[in-house]
A and B are shown apart, each in its own frame.
Chain A
């Protein structure tokens, strides 16, 4: 019972954080709302029984990724957003789009209502279980994802390196 109440409370915090993320004008406030979303998601994982995933969620997303976000916003000294009055395209396409998306989700939920759901605290959250799954059953997707991340890092390095450093070797100019 307590678990269910906590689950609903943190779900509400999560959604509130997500809405606040959109509503805030200042980038730092938006980033901090995203931290709230990440942290409350971690609590949800914890309540479902996935302790390891919850801890990793906090360490990686709240502790590393979002710190870098905040860091970059601080470094660029980004000011408050200027709000426009809103474009007609957003009004004409956005509201039907949101309605269609909502209907789709509702339809899927109604259709799948008989499917198996995870009860609170029932997920196998031990690090050993997750390690076994990652390195046996899902080895290929896991390795492919890591290569994808590596490519992204290399792309970031290429984009961020100074243009004159790229031009220095003459042979590479053509390629």
Chain B
């Protein structure tokens, strides 16, 4: 146990560090997406600012900060201003319970690589993301614009529908691991099946189906192509953020990418074994502390890359197709997976 001053100092340092890394990651996920999608479409993507366009996120950030912040006269001001804040606050706080690695020894103190470890960590993330819907819904309503309203309505309907599939796909993992704590879920995945397959949840029984459901629901939750109907530009101009400009627009943008990163972290922790890697950790203490984090970040990166790859590949769904896919295909599949997993676990326990 840490003494109170050490705990406070360590927590503040961790929070500052995590926020800094998260915001940088958000900026460079945008860069990565533009670059990767550019190459997929046979063009260069950002290439002028800095080498390989690496300073482009910085330039974008400065542009967002110094641009004129327009507030249209017909909006409902309190909610119009609050909506992007709700979105970005929910997106940034949900990272606080995610563990990035085992623990690190500094000055004789053992500090876990996580802002806070609570035994209902997964539920906290689900709760915060479910409150994040308000940001999008209220932005659409308070803009007092029919495109925004339609975008907000679509977004909230879609997010509420796919949240059910998302939650159900996670219950299988919870049954297998027997805990809500993200750290314990990862620790339950260490080891190997039959000596060569890593004991990740995705390889446990039919959990690859749960992973597929999670993947689809996660794309829909974060409003990404092929589920980006809330901001379908061919029909809704820009959906719920049509009336937003400058930093308020940037907040929605940051919230979207921060949510993508959270979803990728969660997938890594729940299905892909968290920070366990292919080689056993050894060597000097610093390497032993940072190697798990490296594996964690590598897995998150792969997940984000698949996200971008899907965006570069698939066209957008129609709205009725989206709802039918969620309710008539994913939902029964998730329930079937849940029942089978529960039966298997109960059989093994008896």
Q: Which of B131, B149, B153 is within 8 Å of A63, CB to CB?
A: B131
A51 within 8 Å of B (CB atoms): yes
In the bound complex, residues from chain B placing their C-beta under 8 Å from that of A126 are 119
Are the CB atoms of A68 and B140 closer together than 8 Å?
no
Interface centre among B131, B149, B152 (most CB of A within 10 A): B131
Partner of B137, one of A39, A56, A71, A127: A71
A67 contacts partner chain B, Cβ-Cβ < 8 Å = yes
Q: Are A127 and B120 in contact (CB under 8 A)?
A: yes
Interface string of A11-35 (1 = CB under 8 A from B): 0000000000000000010000001
A interface majority secondary structure: helix
Q: Indicate whether A120 reaches chain B with its CB closer than 8 angstroms.
A: no
Evaluate whether A67 and B120 lie within 8 angstroms (CB atoms) in the complex, with A74-B141, A74-B149, A74-B152 already known.
Answer: no
Neighbouring A residues of B141 by C-beta, 8 Å: 28, 70, 74
Tell whether, in the assembled complex, residue A127 and residue B180 are in contact, meaning their CB atoms are under 8 Å apart.
Answer: yes
Cα-based distance from A55 to B163 in the complex (angstroms): 15
Query: In whole angstroms, how far apart are the Cα atoms of A51 and B119 in the complex?
Result: 9
Task: Tell me the count of chain A residues lying within 8 A, CB to CB, of chain B.
Answer: 20
Q: Which residues of A contact B153 (CB under 8 A)?
A: 71, 74-75
A126 and B137 CA atoms in complex are apart in Å by 33
Which A residues are closer than 8 A to B by beta carbons?
A: 28, 35, 39, 51-52, 55-56, 58-59, 62-64, 67-68, 70-71, 74-75, 126-127
The 5 closest A-B pairs by CB, nearest first: A63-B130, A55-B123, A58-B127, A59-B127, A74-B141
With an 8 A cutoff between CB atoms, is B126 at the interface? yes
Residues in B neighbouring A39, C-beta threshold 8 A? 131
Q: Is the CB of B79 within 8 A of A59?
A: no
Q: Establish whether residues B120 and A64, one from each chain, have CB atoms under 8 Å apart when the complex forms.
A: no
> Would you list 29 pairs from A and B whose C-beta atoms are within 8 A, ordered by A residue?
A28-B79, A35-B134, A39-B131, A51-B120, A52-B180, A55-B120, A55-B124, A56-B123, A58-B127, A58-B131, A62-B127, A63-B127, A63-B130, A63-B131, A63-B163, A64-B163, A67-B130, A67-B133, A67-B156, A67-B160, A70-B134, A70-B156, A71-B156, A74-B137, A74-B141, A74-B149, A74-B152, A74-B156, A75-B153
Q: Bound complex: CA of A64 vs CA of B134, how far in Å?
A: 10
> Which residues of chain B come closer than 8 Å to A75, judged between CB atoms?
153
Cα distance A35–B123 in the bound complex, in angstroms: 18
Whose C-beta in chain B lies nearest to the C-beta of A51? B120
What residue in chain B is nearest A26 (Cβ atoms)? B76
CA distance A10 to B163 in the complex (A): 28
